[in-house]
């Protein structure tokens, strides 16, 4: 996993989600989120993100729409 995905809150959430056989975790790296158009992002049913300085919130909202 990428370094940012190893934060304590994210680790707890991912460990809990991984217990379900119905959920597949597909992490997106910084390069994809920051540099790629949302059309190139991984397709998913649920997007979990933690807002932090520099996070492209407008881009994430556009992706969800």
pLDDT for the residue 47: 84
Q: Check: CB of residue 4 under 8 Å from CB of residue 30.
A: yes
The rounded Cα 38 to chain-centroid distance in angstroms is 12
Residues 9-17, mean pLDDT to the nearest whole number? 86
Please report which confidence band the pLDDT of residue 4 belongs to, taking 50, 70 and 90 as the band edges: low
Structural domain that includes position 10: 3-64
Q: Check: CB of residue 41 under 8 Å from CB of residue 32.
A: yes
Domains identified in the chain, total number: 1
Helix, strand, coil percentages, rounded to 5, for the chain: 50, 0, 50
Cα–Cα–Cα angle for 56, 41, 29, rounded to 5 degrees: 65
State pLDDT tens for residues 17-60: 999 889 888 888 889 999 999 999 999 888 887 767 888 889 99
Any idea what the CATH number is for the domain that residue 23 is in? 3.40.50.11950
* Rounded CA separation 47/26 (Å): 10
Q: Is the pTM of this model over 0.85?
A: no
């Amino acid at each position: 996993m990428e370094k940012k995905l190893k934060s304590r809150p994210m680790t707890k959430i991912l460990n809990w989600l991984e217990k379900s056989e119905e959920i597949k975790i597909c992490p997106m790296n910084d390069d994809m989120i920051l540099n790629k158009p949302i059309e190139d992002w991984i397709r998913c049913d649920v997007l979990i993100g933690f807002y932090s300085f520099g996070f492209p919130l407008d881009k994430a909202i556009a992706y969800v729409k």
